[in-house]
Amino acid sequence: MFARMKGETIPFRIYGKEYAISPDLPASLVLELARCEGDVPPKLVFSAAGRIFGKDVMDEIAAHDDFTLSKLEEMLAWAFEVCSGGGTGGGAGTGKN
Per-residue pLDDT tens over the stretch 1-18: 454 455 689 999 999 999
Nearest to 54, CA basis, from 19, 94, 27: 19
Those residues whose C-beta lies under 8 Å from the C-beta of residue 57, and which sit 6 or more positions away, are 19
Per-residue pLDDT tens over the stretch 29-87: 888 888 887 788 888 889 999 999 999 999 999 999 999 988 998 999 999 899 887 76
**Alpha-carbon distance values, 37 to 11, 33, 55, 61 (Å):** 29, 8, 25, 28
Nearest to 84, CA basis, from 20, 38, 30: 30
Distance CA 26, CA 13 (A): 22
Better pLDDT: 93 or 48:
48
